[in-house]
Chain A
Amino acid sequence: MNRTTAGGTSAAAPTVPAAPTAVRSAVRPAGHAVLRAGRASFLVHRRAAVVATLLAVLLTVAVVAYLCVGESFVSPVQAVDVLLGRPSPDTFVVGTLRLPRLVVGLLAGAAFGVAGALVQTVARNPLASPDVIGVTHGAGAATVAAMSFGLVSHTSLPYVSVGGGLGAALLVYAFAWRRGLNASRFVLVGIGVSIALGSLTQLFLTKGDFLVAQQAKVWLTGSLNSRGYDQAAPLGLVLLVAVPAALWAARAQRGASFDDDTAVALGIRLDRLRLGLTVLGVVLASVATGATGPVDFVALLAPQIARRLTRTAQIPLLSSALTGALVVVVADLLARRLFSPVELPVGVLTAAVGAPYLMWLIARTRGRSGGSTS
């Protein structure tokens, strides 16, 4: 039973004590350092910590670049000045035009990254990202319906999209459940439901008036254009609430990554754990979708990149969040500048990169991708 998924061949499971050749390694798993703070002590995966630090540095560079590059170039010094609230001639360009958009991108990217990591952990399959299992399409269909029929005010759109995402996930779960959950069935049903929701979205698009349809269409490709603090606020709030949940999730992930028999033998309540992780992932993905529209494949890419970098057995949550944010910020920077003056929606770029990557993953999987998870 090869559970290490694609590429993670060298990932030595750090939770399992290494071979008892060295006494020291039984006490401290290979590759880990112990952090002590008073009476508390934590095991930190050394490589993961280094990777996370590097990612944070890269992200900072990307953020500064994002604020500087555009129609008009702003020097990094000026940009930092604006960030720190000092008076500057570039306050409008940097502080009013670029910064809100950047904040939405950062938050959404992080949310997508964590969401993908959680869902992939539960499904034990790199292919089962929120994009594939219908969450983003559900959020999309609900939002477009609300927009075209003018059901709710603009500010409550994020809640609608969360409802849509959760509803779609629930639907997929219900349809895929048949004396247990099978990963392949889950993915196939997810694809089917996604297609149905996609065509429902098309239907709603034809129902609303033209202007709304135009707006909805831009939203549907996943764009950061004209996104600001209105969208960032609910997203930030949810992320804040999700931090303690994520701490729990990081622990729970270990339990979920064992094979079923081992987990049950260890006394882990698998069903409850999976449900919790999935709900958290789905909520994060749908809130992010509500803010930016479906930025395709970030949730698929980010955890996989992060995991290849850290080489841990579990998908690292912090690094996934950082990678997600990095991917979105860089992609949006490229989307703004690549065909300037025309601006691409960021979702076009992430899909153009992410879809071939998904194909590559598929081409490399052994025939029995996934298998039964319950």
Chain B
Amino acid sequence: MARPTRSRIAWLIGCAALLLLAVLLSLAVGSRQIAPSEVVQALLHGGTSNDAEVVRSLRVPRTVVGVLAGAALAVAGAVMQGLTRNPIAEPGILGVSQGASAGVVCAIAFFGVHTLGGYVWFAFAGAALAAVAVYAVAAGGHRGASPVKLALAGAAMNAFLASVVSGIATTDARALDEFRFWQVGSISGRGTDVIERIWPFVAAGLLLAALMARGLDALALGDDAARALGHDVARLRVLGAVGATVLTGAAVAAVGPIAFTGLAVPHIARALVGSAHRWVLPVAALLGPVMILFSDVLGRIVFPPSEVPVAVTTALLGVPFLIALVRRRTVAAA
């Protein structure tokens, strides 16, 4: 699938332009419509008008959180798909997001941790545990992890953790009140403090993923081929798992569980620029935020004045994608 570098660069630029458009829309559209020119004005020159206040104090943080979470989830999905050689691997479907969110709920309910800086670590731990458990379960038995086994193991993990969370919710009303808004998966109402907390983790995770691009390409050929090409497969797996876990954990700690971004975006990216990870990863990092921001904007305008949480919109947009993917012969036959 060799594609001319020029067309790949063109796609990269196109995606960046799309991201810019999404950011602008996210800043301008909402229960208070603000003209794009006003938005630019408010960003560049400040000002004290109501519009400028709304843009700077509400919509800018929300948009930045969306960008960070989108990039993190999409790249996490791409890495998971590469590591497992499995087209439907994704933080949401595999239960990794739910693991992170169960970690956060436990942190709130049992350890009295109430700050994002504190419970982000629990999110990492939960995501890592869930990822390892699901993969171990799916890879057991004879032929290793087929898509159907991975998805089922993920569904079981999701159901299990959901029951744990609702068990905590029914026994601990105070904790429920703290996490019930966060648990839906939404990027609204997240302030600059959230951004300050999670951007180092997202950056670290993205860097780790970027360093692994070649290794992931080699892994796509199979473990033996990767070894023959001089890669340490075990180390690659561990590093990749760490990267995906950090990205998922950080995104979930910030915005709650959001599914399907990590599934759809890497596939779109591969369709655009081929399967080489040094191209897929940056395109995914650009398109992930596009998906989150567009979904969020859509959620703001369908039922005004109330908003649809972004996780609901991404799931409704992403499921047709999953179904189309499954209907292709290769996934179900495996």
**B319 in the interface, Cβ–Cβ < 8 Å?**
yes
Q: List, in ascending order, chain A residues with CB within 8 A of B136's CB.
A: 363
In whole angstroms, how far apart are the Cα atoms of A176 and B259 in the complex?
21
Question: A355 and B159: CB pair below 8 A?
Answer: yes
Closest 6 interchain pairs by CB?
Answer: A367-B143, A355-B160, A351-B163, A363-B140, A199-B315, A185-B332
Q: For B170, list chain A residues within 8 Å (CB).
A: 221, 342-345, 348
Among residues of B, the one whose C-beta sits closest to the C-beta of A370 is B148
Contact of A296 among B142, B146, B159, B331 (CB under 8 A): B159
Chain A's closest residue to B323 (CB) is: A175
B188 to chain A, nearest CB (A): 12
Residue of B at shortest CB range from A221?
B166
Q: Are the CB atoms of A132 and B171 closer together than 8 Å?
A: no
A91 within 8 A of B: no
Say whether B312 contacts A348, CB under 8 Å.
no
Q: Mark A175-207, 1 if CB is under 8 A from B, else 0.
A: 110100010110111011111101110110011
Out of A131, A221, A368, A370, name the residue touching B143 (CB < 8 Å).
Answer: A368
B137 touches A359 (CB 8 A): yes
The verdict on B241 contacting chain A, using a C-beta distance below 8 Å, is no
Contacts of B93 in A (CB 8 A): 191, 195
Q: A132 vs B152: C-alpha distance in the bound complex, in angstroms? A: 8
Q: Which of A178, A192, A347, A367 is B141 in contact with, Cβ under 8 Å?
A: A367
**Which listed residue (A182, A196, A351) contacts B162, Cβ 8 A?**
A351
Query: From A172, which residue of chain B is reached at the shortest CB distance?
Result: B323
Cβ of A68 within 8 Å of any chain B Cβ, yes or no, is no
Question: Is the CB–CB distance between B160 and A196 below 8 Å?
Answer: no
Q: Enumerate 30 A-B pairs (CB-CB under 8 Å) in ascending A order.
A: A187-B148, A187-B152, A188-B148, A189-B323, A191-B93, A192-B323, A192-B326, A195-B259, A196-B315, A196-B319, A199-B315, A202-B184, A203-B312, A206-B309, A345-B166, A347-B163, A349-B163, A351-B163, A356-B160, A359-B157, A359-B160, A362-B137, A362-B140, A362-B141, A362-B153, A363-B138, A363-B153, A367-B141, A367-B143, A367-B146
Contact B309 A369 (CB under 8 A): no
A86 at the interface (CB under 8 A from B): no
What's the minimum C-beta distance from B44 to chain A, rounded to whole angstroms? Answer: 36
Majority SS at the chain B contact face: helix
Chain B residues near A206: list those with CB within 8 A: 184, 306, 308-309
Cβ of B23: which chain A residues have Cβ within 8 Å of it? none
User: Is B164 close to A, CB under 8 A?
Assistant: yes
B147 located at the interface, meaning its Cβ lies under 8 Å from any Cβ of chain A in the complex: yes
- State which residues 297-317 of B face A: CB under 8 Å: 303, 306, 308-309, 311-312, 315-316
B69-92 CB mask vs A (1 if < 8 Å, else 0) is: 000000000000000000010001
- B144 at the binding interface (Cβ < 8 Å): yes
- Tally inter-chain residue pairs, CB-CB below 8 A: 161
Q: Mark B316-334, 1 if CB is under 8 A from A, else 0.
A: 1001001100110001111
The reply to whether the CB of A246 lies closer than 8 angstroms to some CB of chain B is no
Q: Give min CB distance, B283 to chain A, whole Å.
A: 24
The answer to the question of A240 belonging to the interface, with a C-beta cut-off of 8 Å to chain B, is no
B152 touching A355 by the CB < 8 A rule? no
Given A184-B147, A184-B148, A352-B167; A297-B159 close (CB under 8 Å): yes
Find the A residue at minimum CB distance from B165. Answer: A348
B152–chain A nearest beta-carbon distance, Å: 5
Query: Assuming the A-B contacts A184-B332, A347-B163, are A178 and B140 also in contact, with contact meaning beta carbons closer than 8 angstroms in the complex?
Result: no
- Kindly identify which residue among A182, A191, A193, A364 contacts B152, using a CB–CB cutoff of 8 Å: A191
Sample of 15 further A-B pairs with CB below 8 A, known A195-B259, A203-B309: A178-B327, A184-B332, A185-B326, A192-B326, A196-B315, A202-B309, A221-B163, A342-B171, A344-B171, A347-B166, A354-B159, A355-B157, A358-B159, A365-B149, A367-B141
Q: Is B203 an interface residue (CB 8 A)?
A: no
| CB-defined contacts of B322 to chain A, threshold 8 Å | 188-189, 192
Complex contacts, B162 vs chain A, CB 8 Å = 351
Interface residues of A in 307-362 (CB under 8 A from B): 339, 342-345, 347-349, 351-352, 354-356, 358-360, 362
Alpha-carbon separation in the docked complex, A192 to B320 (Å): 8
Q: List the B residue with the shortest CB-CB distance to A187.
A: B148
Given contacts A188-B88, A199-B315, contact A351 B152 (CB under 8 A): no
Residues on A with C-beta less than 8 A from B43 are: none
Cβ-defined contact, A352 with B152, below 8 A: no
CB of B152 within 8 A of CB of A348, answer no
Q: Is A127 an interface residue (CB 8 A)?
A: yes
Question: Which residues from A are CB-within-8-Å of B308?
Answer: 203, 206
Q: Whole-angstrom distance between the alpha carbons of A313 and B148 in the complex?
A: 24
Do B306 and A191 have beta carbons less than 8 Å apart? no
Chain A CB within 8 A of B218 CB:
no
